[in-house]
Homo-oligomer: A and B are copies of this chain.
């Protein structure tokens, strides 16, 4: 942040024994700081001779110190874990997180992006994308936008994501190595680039084992536990394994299989995605793909705050891609 005599906000924090966040709040005249803390910070600043750059400070004082994070559904633990970590990082740096649920609606996504224009927030993080890039791009003039998880190849902004293609490739390869030849593929929305990459990974694995021609069962609208229950009944007889694209869908399939006395993995192997808490707790536990959610969230917040605290707007594409990992459990392998 601001500097004088080479001193930083960290030096002030160390001097008064309070957090960076508290120091930042005092400097920016944030409404809620306990009187004693405020005095301690001001005292430390005086003793060190630390003076926040006044121009930068004025610029900052127009700011809301709020960042909107748009997610499709907070009931999906993937998104709630992502937010949990983003919020921890943001609050360490004196920023507030505002969570906006789009429920996959183009209209709601634009309503929330509009918070940038009306100065309710300083920046927006998109974890899913409903609108075309050209419609999102117009909001860039009001503040930084960062993509996390979902991405758009045309977008000239930072995007932080995982190697989705590798995820589905590893998962599908694992199913094939267990002897499966007919594997059903579940997908969510149609516009998603995550979906596109995952499909590529699935196809890559099939191709490597010359199984492309026998695999054309695609189940759509796979998001929730309820969807998994429905999909169980839509599976053709000859399918022996399902790539679900999400642990919640896998949970739904496993639950319905249990009700219908179909044995997992003997009669049907199921692979999830995300390594959610429930994938370990359910019986049988679910083979899944782990995404480093905490690292992705931290990096996203780091990049966003860099953009907010630098005075020049940047219109370049930046990509940060994290690796994924296969976690083998009971839903695909007999113990």
Contacts and interface: CB of A to CB of B under 8 A. Distances in A.
One complex includes copies of this chain to the number of 2
Contacts of A120: 64, 66, 120
A96 interface: yes
Interface stretch (A168-176, A266-274, A278-286): A278-286
Contact of A31 (B30, B80, B99, B111): B111
B74 A83 contact: yes
A154 B50 CA distance: 45
A183 to B, nearest CB: 24
A32 B114 contact: yes
Contact of A80 (B80, B114, B277, B278): B80
Interface in A207-249: 225
B66 A74 contact: no
Interface stretch (A38-46, A101-109, A305-313, A324-332): A101-109
A81 B91 contact: no
Question: Which among A77, A87, A225 has the greatest number of chain B C-beta atoms within 10 A?
Answer: A87
A97 interface: yes
Interface in A39-94: 64, 66, 73-75, 77, 80-81, 83-84, 87, 91
Nearest to A31: B114
A209 to B, nearest CB: 33
B107 A32 contact: yes
A333 to B, nearest CB: 19
A334 to B, nearest CB: 18
A110 interface: yes
Given A111-B96, A120-B120, A277-B225, A103 B87 contact: yes
Interface of A: 30-32, 64, 66, 73-75, 77, 80-81, 83-84, 87, 91, 96-101, 103, 107-108, 110-112, 114, 117-118, 120, 225, 251, 255, 277-278, 281-283
For the complex of A and B, list the 8 residue pairs with the smallest distance between their C-beta atoms, beginning with the closest.
A99-B99, A283-B283, A75-B80, A32-B110, A120-B120, A74-B80, A74-B74, A98-B98
Given A96-B108, A281-B282, 19 more contacts: A32-B107, A74-B80, A74-B83, A74-B84, A74-B99, A75-B77, A75-B80, A75-B81, A75-B84, A80-B80, A84-B101, A96-B100, A98-B98, A98-B99, A99-B100, A225-B281, A255-B281, A282-B282, A282-B283
